[in-house]
Chain A
């Protein structure tokens, strides 16, 4: 792979790492590992840990995919590998 290609792949992996970190924190972190702790805080009638497990993580997943699609478009263009 040429330099340009390597840089493109590195940028892609960087973006994936960032998004997967958030993916992990909201579901496995806030929804499972730290749910008990967060349940002390309330979001309306929702204990916060419960909310992350049964509502919040799903909203954030949706946002993550659209963010990914948008950022990838920018990376594609920056490295000039976008589709015509």
Chain B
């Protein structure tokens, strides 16, 4: 069977599975729509959370980023997993005990204020909408790359699929499709990694292969990789940090706090039957996530090794001189996979010194010694541009794996994007139907009416997300980082103080959320433009790029959170204590006994 047919078959089968599950798990009540009826076991919820969490960015882009960054890429790994420790210890069990449908409802009830709940809805909408744009573009990219349809058609098909199971199934449909999607995406990620680890090191477990020696050589893979990248003018793979140590520290912390504060992840913990199950479920979620996240660094380093091996075979597998002309392959003799990816524009070759050979190196290196060697070899600049996304998507082809593995990767990329999009859509629609429609505009709405409102809100959100995916506002890549910044600087501190400080009052919480949100947006917009409109950057006003101790805008969420906490405590000191019944509410949230089924009544 040829490659294209195999891909259609595998992707088609996976879609049939998702639709089948959607028909089986239709939602008939608001409880089923918002929290899947509240009876999902900790392991199943953990698996669904993992699929919910791991997006197109985790599946497609992360290994490529690590591959380019080396050691510094560890900030994504630690940041996006360490957040689950915070979620498990500080938020999930307490929010489950509180027992309501949404995150804004907790903030509204705990801070006895509709204003607080509305501010939370606002933060949630901004964070989730920015996040979903990335997923829709991911769906479009995966479709067009693998199925040979246009980007637009890809997004329409993706919208149709999500519509079917998210609108009819609500959280119930989403939960069980996410379980199926997890299975598809984890096989799609690990199988190529196992093959590649076998080829390079003889060890089938990628996590161990990364720490092993190269086949037939007595040098470890990482040591060899360090050598060859340094020979090509890049920084050493195992030590190059992200910006500065301080920036890496703050970036990691921002991702951790942001992860714990993302509403579509928190919501999943409302579906389990008890506080005990919520704690365990966070552990299971991290087990399922860690399977992919501990494989990713192996994929990153091995794909980099494979790429350089393709371009300079003798240098990696023997000890040929990297600067000798015959070490670099001729462009005319390049492998087929390079030709295929050149068509997509993700791989570009330009013969700058007209020698017919491919020179791939860091032409921005600051090392004088390296620059002298490159010049002596007659190199006139880097000739091969490699988009980071190729690392995962083309990995099976680079390693010459069979067609069904390539097809599986296509299905896995789509599963990752669709599962996250569905979770985000649910967070958005429940905030609209439950917190705005029922909470603010029409408290007497019937359950049937609210369910209908939820489905309409979901349908509208899908159309908006699809529209933004079709017309990405030119900032798609930067927005996911913003979603973490917003969650970290606004929602996480408000929820945490609501549980851990009995005396925190509504004035403090609202001032905290608004100031955290404001300072983060201010810093990000200074670098990227007001609402990301090009030309409206105002870096001069704040004293140049990264003025705050060299911290990049993506890493700023933790600083926003710090501002939030500080402001909240200051305002809280000068305003009056929360009423007695709120302090009792906090006490009851802190103890597991008496946890009831989750319901939607507004206090």
Contact = CB atoms under 8 A, between A and B. Distances in A.
Given A28-B252, A44-B211, A55-B297, A19 B593 contact: no
A64 B238 CA distance: 26
B28 interface: no
A14 B278 CA distance: 20
B85 A45 contact: no
Contacts of A54: 66, 71, 73-74, 77, 297
Contacts, number: 140
A32 B82 CA distance: 14
A55 B294 contact: yes
Contacts of B587: 1, 5
Nearest to A9: B590
A58 B77 contact: yes
Nearest to B87: A65
Contact of B223 (A19, A45, A51, A81): A45
Contact of B82 (A33, A61, A68): A61
B473 to A, nearest CB: 33
A43 B212 CA distance: 10
B283 A65 contact: yes
A41 interface: no
B238 A83 contact: no
Contact of A68 (B78, B81, B279): B279
Interface string A64-80: 11101100110010000
A76 B290 contact: no
B444 interface: no
Interface in A23-77: 23, 27-28, 31-33, 35-36, 39, 43-47, 49-51, 53-55, 57-59, 61-62, 64-66, 68-69, 72-73, 76
A9 B501 CA distance: 12
A1 B503 CA distance: 13
B135 interface: no
B272 to A, nearest CB: 12
A56 B88 CA distance: 19
A65 B85 CA distance: 6
Contacts of B90: 16
Which of A1, A59, A65 counts the most chain B CB atoms within 10 A? Answer: A65
B465 to A, nearest CB: 31
Nearest to B287: A62
Contacts of B82: 23, 27, 57, 61
Nearest to B500: A13
Contacts of A57: 77-78, 81-82
A9 B592 CA distance: 11
A81 B245 contact: no
A8 B593 CA distance: 12
A1 to B, nearest CB: 5
B593 A31 contact: no
Interface residues of A, number: 45
Contact of B238 (A9, A28, A50, A65): A50
Contact of B275 (A1, A43, A49, A83): A83
B290 A45 contact: no
A39 B207 CA distance: 18
Contacts of B213: 45
B252 A27 contact: yes
A58 B290 contact: yes
Interface string B283-309: 100110010011001000000000000
Contacts of A53: 71, 74-75, 77-78
A12 B578 CA distance: 23
A8 B591 contact: yes
A50 to B, nearest CB: 4
Interface string B21-33: 0000000000000
Which secondary structure characterizes the binding site on chain B? Answer: helix
Contacts of B78: 27, 31, 53, 57-58
A83 B275 CA distance: 8
B215 interface: no
Contacts of A39: 238-239
B286 A31 contact: no
Interface in B396-414: none
A64 B286 CA distance: 11
B253 interface: yes
Q: Which of A28, A32, A51 has the most CB of B within 10 A?
A: A32
A40 B567 CA distance: 43
Q: Residue among B210, B594, B595 with the most chain A CB within 10 A? A: B210
A72 to B, nearest CB: 6
Contacts of B593: 76, 81-84
Contacts of B248: 32
B84 interface: yes
A81 B593 CA distance: 5
Contacts of A45: 210-213, 220-223
Given A33-B245, A55-B297, A61 B279 contact: no
Given A12-B590, A33-B245, A55 B207 contact: yes
Q: State the 3 A-B residue pairs at the shortest beta-carbon distance, nearest first.
A: A45-B220, A53-B74, A65-B283
22 contacts: A1-B587, A5-B587, A16-B89, A27-B82, A31-B78, A32-B245, A35-B239, A43-B211, A44-B212, A45-B211, A45-B220, A45-B222, A46-B211, A50-B71, A50-B74, A54-B77, A54-B297, A55-B294, A64-B85, A68-B283, A83-B592, A83-B595
Given A8-B591, A45-B211, A72-B279, 18 more contacts: A5-B590, A28-B249, A32-B245, A39-B238, A45-B212, A50-B238, A61-B85, A62-B283, A62-B286, A65-B84, A65-B286, A66-B283, A72-B93, A76-B276, A76-B593, A82-B276, A83-B274, A83-B594
Interface of B: 66, 71, 73-75, 77-78, 81-82, 84-85, 88-90, 93, 207-208, 210-213, 220-223, 238-239, 245, 248-249, 252-253, 274-276, 279-280, 282-283, 286-287, 290, 293-294, 297, 587, 590-595
